[in-house]
Structure 1
Amino acid sequence: MRSFSRRQTLSFLGAGAFSMGGGYYLYGARSSAPSSLPEPAERPLLKVMVTAGQDEYLIPSPLDHEFVSGQRHPVFGYNGSSPGPSIRIRRGETFEKTIRNDLDVPTTVHWHGLVLPSDVDGHPADILGPGVEKRITFPVIQRAALNWYHPHPHESTGAQAWGGLAGFFVVEDDEEEALRLPKGDRELLLAIRDAQIDQNGSLFYPNVLAGAEGDFPVINGVSWPSARMGNQFYRLRILNAANARVFRLHSQAPLILIGNDGGLLEQATAVDVIEIGPAERVDILLDLRNILPGRTIGIDCEASRWRLLQIDVVEAAKDPWQPPTQLSRINRLHHSGPPDRVFRFENDQRINGREYNMALTDFVVPFGKVERWRFESSGGAPHPIHVHGGHFQIQSREGGRGQIMPWETGWKDTVLMWAQESIEVLVAFDQYEGRYLLHCHKLEHEDHGMMMNFVVSRNPVEAAERAENERLFGPLCIAPAV
């Protein structure tokens, strides 16, 4: 496999990126300093995410994009859009797509939240060079949930995601459909992130180890958007697509939590504030029934004081639908013993003192076995910890916030860990064998080595011996049996 240097990955679309004081520009000429994109006098309309048709291709490529009306900025997207087209598919169907890389740098596509064979997971080692195509196919075996797709090339995931490479992957099933949740115009997919531009209108990437944060919000590719909503229930399915920013969301209307990364929770829960780290998702009902028509409210970010989405409430027909109290049944994992593994996330962007090596296996997990994993933070937090290849259930949190939040119950693939916290989860990989990843989803931490490879195997002793030999002697080439 051809290797790409850090200099090559940061050269990012040919002449498109220029180093400057811990950051660089994506396209365009350098200016004296980064700028901001202030809230306009009239907010643009929220972009409604378009569901992908039966297109054979998913194509990452450069494009010009409007964060606000009349101002075009060079970004990246899929199939000419940023975010890319939303994919909707039912549980039990087979997903097929050809990925063609129209960028000038290597990339991968990771299907975040999906349980799928490791050879189509989008691991950093499965790189697609410029102009390269790869046909992928996999069965959709999991319950209904909001998942997403994004790039995962080692050392440049942060830059490519900051450029706009992301898209929704929605799985639907009969259980969710039976609840008659709001749909159509009353179901909104919201990808929330932040960004920064320079004085010439070029996207500026503040590539800092602590995590890239911008100075204006972007929702579905639009800055400071607004939406007209009737005084009814709306379903908001929210993805934190930011590189590093944590969003604490609240509204002047009641919020009812119904789901998270892994789909529906067992019960609907009223919440005042929802804290969502990078890569996490929440599914909420926004109750506008008692908001008077003509009033303006919002979905707001508490810390930054941003109004992420302005909501102009209008009169709507009465709808007798009420959210059910019982949403789903979740099969609980069981493990009463001490942690099988401890992962310490450290200030130097290492896990257990190790810097990521793409070619090596850090640990082996027995197929189908329930394990207890303990995550510990010794600095550099927050760390949104993501596990590929499966889902987990959070058992406890010590230190810091000291509790499991309502949006952290049920099935998760990402959990937010603050400073001096420790979190224990139960996990079992019972669908596929193969190589997967554990990593911090603060993308600058990830790019600097806060990742681990692990292998799921029905023969864990043999797999562990092979991993140790690779660590001692380098990757091994095993001749096929004759």
Structure 2
Amino acid sequence: MKMTTNLQRRKLLKYAAIGIAGAITYPSWAKTGEFVKVNSMSNDFLPDVEIELTMNTADVAILNGEKTRVWKITGKVITGPSNVLDNNEGTYLAPTLRFKKGQKVRLILNNNLPAQSILHWHGLHVPANMDGNPMYAINHGETYVYEFEILNRAGTYFYHSHAHGVTARQVYSGLAGLLIVSDDQEQALDLPSGEFDIPLAIQDRSFDGQNQLVYSAHMMQRMQGFLGDRILVNGQPDFVLPVATRAYRLRLVNGSNSRIYKLAWDDGTPITVIGVDGGLLESPEQHPYVMLSPGERLELWMDFSERAVGTELTMRSLKFDAASHGGMGMMGGRGRGMMGGMMSVSTLPSGSDYPILKIRVAKKEQGHHALPKTLTPITALQVKNAANAANPRTIALSMRHMSALLNGRSYKMDDVQPDEIIPVNSLQLIEFDNGFDGGMHSMMAMPHPMHLHGEQYQVVKREVNPRFSDNYATVSSGFVSSGWKDTVLVMPGEKVTILKPFNDFKGLFMYHCHNLEHEDMGMMRDFLIK
């Protein structure tokens, strides 16, 4: 491991300048050729599905006029049914991958970009060397081979670049896609499927006068996270979804770098949630609105059967208090609104009100689906079964001196500390403290979507410091804390307690803020499972 890490450090120094400058300017010297494998296929691994993925530059039509230069992943099925992959042609989105629980999958990743990169399978329970840790980043002209079994239950998952220090730029440039898993339990429910099961990836982008992506490295953009000026859904601006008068399953994915959404229907219809990061809930939940932070997913049930053909419905992101989303957490409720405007360098500030997508009822059709009262069983984890039930692991989230820190530490490769070593096959009680206990950590409190690699977890409780209660009240009804999670939004002044299993696999598994600018600033660490 030490030798690999030192090699990676040398590689990172060599490619850092190209990766940062090239992520948006795209040097044209990358040529397709023979790719050199940095790891080998296993002779005893017999895949049910084998897919070749290639990262390359491409020009796609996003806005009217000139095409936009992006980084695009394209795929080719080598083994398995053709419908396991949709290349999302005509958009910058990476292929949508569809697998079944229990399948053995081989993914061959070729890098034809002018920079290092690697892909992380966000939410999947896979071995450490298949998880996309930055230490495994491959250079231009190299190939990385992933081999793993799909152990996860049915759900909406996500994959994206995880290159050290440039994840934000690379995801922004197009290196992200959806991964959908099905299983027998889900199939038995007879939920809306096919054209009535709609993935919706929500992202924000900014463009210059020639329709090229603009990514700002402004200090405030780094501190609060990049905020684009336009909302795109499935890679398209001004997205309109035509529907029939029947029930739909809508899979929402927040693929933005840092933008947090407070989603609601504009006519006040409650949001019916049937699933979260790790798949279906035990039973549907209704909320007036739902919060969706970067890396999180939600599955919604929406029935249009009582709506007339020709009617329209808009999903909006509603106003919420973003005062602490910029460094005024020390003011609690008194600082409301100041930083949302003063520190934002986007024309679409965080916490403002704006449309996401429009639904148009286009045709009449008789559907037969009814919302199930029960969905899939979930075994609740018990605090008493945690190896550290009496002594939770606390992870303090802080921003100071242009640094984003976890327990006062910034990211370094091969830098696991004693409190980051966890026994394999153990259940751990973990607290994310975002200024809950006051003190210096609350002085620069900002929202942090906390993502843990490896096996998914359950939320035990959410607690908020009374000084932040006014701000918190603008978002608190939108948290869906049920089910299995891999990303949880921790608001300023809040402490979120989770129970996380660390089963099956040894090695390094990352934990980090999924505000990608914060991640790139160092708000990321490794757990060593042994």
Determine the structure 1 residue equivalent to 2:367: 319
| Cα pair 2:65 2:211 within 8 Å, conserved | no
The one-letter code matched in structure 2 to 1:388 is: H
The one-letter code matched in structure 2 to 1:397 is: R
> Cα distance 1:243–1:440, how it changes in 2: closer, same or farther (>3 A)?
same
Matched, 1:287 2:314: no
Matched, 1:335 2:383: yes
Corresponding residue to 1:180 among 190, 207, 214: 190
Matched, 1:355 2:355: no
Matched, 1:456 2:526: no
CA shift, 1:254, in A, is 4.5
Matches within 5 A, 1:108-123: 108-123=118-133
The one-letter code matched in structure 1 to 2:170 is: Q
For the residues of structure 2 that align with 1:7 and 1:204, how far apart are their CA atoms? 24
Compare 195-204 and 404-413 and name the one that shifted more.
Answer: 404-413
Give the root-mean-square deviation of aligned CA atoms.
2.1
Determine the structure 2 residue equivalent to 1:439: 512
Corresponding residue to 1:72 among 53, 67, 70: 67
Q: Deviations over 1:55-95 (max 9, x none)?
A: 73111111112223444111112117521111111101111
For structure 2, the 5+ residue unaligned runs are 1-6, 28-47, 75-88, 320-351, 435-440
CA shift, 1:352, in A, is 0.8
Matched, 1:239 2:253: yes
Matched, 1:229 2:229: no
Matches within 5 A, 1:21-40: 25-27=24-26
SS of 1:257's equivalent in the other structure is strand
For the residues of structure 1 that align with 2:157 and 2:447, how far apart are their CA atoms? 22
Give the count of matched residue pairs: 425
SS of 1:259's equivalent in the other structure is strand
For the residues of structure 2 that align with 1:151 and 1:220, how far apart are their CA atoms? 18
SS of 2:137's equivalent in the other structure is coil
CA shift, 1:335, in A, is 1.6
SS of 2:61's equivalent in the other structure is strand
CA shift, 1:235, in A, is 0.7
Matches within 5 A, 1:208-223: 208-209=221-222, 210-223=224-237
| Cα pair 2:54 2:73 within 8 Å, conserved | yes
Determine the structure 1 residue equivalent to 2:82: none
For the residues of structure 1 that align with 2:195 and 2:405, how far apart are their CA atoms? 44
Corresponding residue to 2:216 among 206, 213, 224: 206
CA shift, 1:294, in A, is 0.8
CA shift, 1:9, in A, is 2.8
Compare 67-76 and 287-296 and name the one that shifted more.
Answer: 67-76
For the residues of structure 2 that align with 1:9 and 1:312, how far apart are their CA atoms? 46
SS of 1:158's equivalent in the other structure is helix
For the residues of structure 2 that align with 1:26 and 1:419, how far apart are their CA atoms? 36
> Cα distance 1:161–1:16, how it changes in 2: closer, same or farther (>3 A)?
same
The one-letter code matched in structure 2 to 1:443 is: L
> Cα distance 1:181–1:163, how it changes in 2: closer, same or farther (>3 A)?
same
> Cα distance 1:262–1:56, how it changes in 2: closer, same or farther (>3 A)?
closer
SS of 1:161's equivalent in the other structure is helix
Matched, 1:250 2:264: yes
CA shift, 1:26, in A, is 3.6
| Cα pair 1:91 1:142 within 8 Å, conserved | yes
Matches within 5 A, 1:96-135: 96-135=106-145
Determine the structure 1 residue equivalent to 2:43: none
Determine the structure 1 residue equivalent to 2:496: 423
Determine the structure 1 residue equivalent to 2:452: 387
SS of 1:159's equivalent in the other structure is helix
> Cα distance 1:7–1:203, how it changes in 2: closer, same or farther (>3 A)?
farther
CA shift, 1:184, in A, is 1.1
SS of 1:229's equivalent in the other structure is strand
CA shift, 1:381, in A, is 1.5
For the residues of structure 2 that align with 1:232 and 1:193, how far apart are their CA atoms? 27
Determine the structure 2 residue equivalent to 1:305: 353
Determine the structure 2 residue equivalent to 1:144: 154
For the residues of structure 2 that align with 1:206 and 1:9, how far apart are their CA atoms? 17
CA shift, 1:98, in A, is 0.6
Q: Deviations over 1:245-266 (max 9, x none)?
A: 0011111355310000011111
For the residues of structure 2 that align with 1:113 and 1:54, how far apart are their CA atoms? 19
Matched, 1:158 2:168: yes
SS of 2:136's equivalent in the other structure is coil
Matched, 1:9 2:16: yes
The one-letter code matched in structure 2 to 1:174 is: D
The one-letter code matched in structure 1 to 2:424 is: F
The one-letter code matched in structure 2 to 1:194 is: D
CA shift, 1:185, in A, is 1.1
SS of 1:162's equivalent in the other structure is helix
The one-letter code matched in structure 2 to 1:351 is: L
TM (norm. structure 1) is: 0.84
Matched, 1:89 2:105: no
The one-letter code matched in structure 2 to 1:9 is: A
For the residues of structure 2 that align with 1:71 and 1:219, how far apart are their CA atoms? 20
| Cα pair 1:239 1:281 within 8 Å, conserved | yes
Determine the structure 1 residue equivalent to 2:433: 376
Q: Deviations over 1:28-51 (max 9, x none)?
A: 9xxxxxxxxxxxxxxxxxxxxxxx
SS of 1:398's equivalent in the other structure is strand
| Cα pair 2:287 2:478 within 8 Å, conserved | no
Q: Which has the higher helix share?
A: 2
| Cα pair 1:255 1:287 within 8 Å, conserved | no
For the residues of structure 1 that align with 2:493 and 2:225, how far apart are their CA atoms? 18
CA shift, 1:318, in A, is 2.0
Compare 437-446 and 191-200 and name the one that shifted more.
Answer: 191-200
SS of 1:125's equivalent in the other structure is helix
TM (norm. structure 2) is: 0.77
Q: Deviations over 1:220-252 (max 9, x none)?
A: 111111121112111110110000000111113
Q: Deviations over 1:397-452 (max 9, x none)?
A: 11154868552211100000111111110111112111100100101110111111
The one-letter code matched in structure 2 to 1:200 is: Q
| Cα pair 2:395 2:430 within 8 Å, conserved | yes
For the residues of structure 1 that align with 2:353 and 2:451, how far apart are their CA atoms? 28
For the residues of structure 1 that align with 2:19 and 2:411, how far apart are their CA atoms? 22
The one-letter code matched in structure 1 to 2:204 is: D
SS of 1:59's equivalent in the other structure is strand
> Cα distance 1:69–1:235, how it changes in 2: closer, same or farther (>3 A)?
farther
Corresponding residue to 1:410 among 483, 499, 502: 483
For the residues of structure 1 that align with 2:124 and 2:147, how far apart are their CA atoms? 13
For the residues of structure 2 that align with 1:311 and 1:405, how far apart are their CA atoms? 21
Determine the structure 1 residue equivalent to 2:398: 346
> Cα distance 1:295–1:195, how it changes in 2: closer, same or farther (>3 A)?
same
SS of 1:327's equivalent in the other structure is coil
> Cα distance 1:127–1:71, how it changes in 2: closer, same or farther (>3 A)?
same
| Cα pair 2:26 2:114 within 8 Å, conserved | no
Determine the structure 2 residue equivalent to 1:48: none
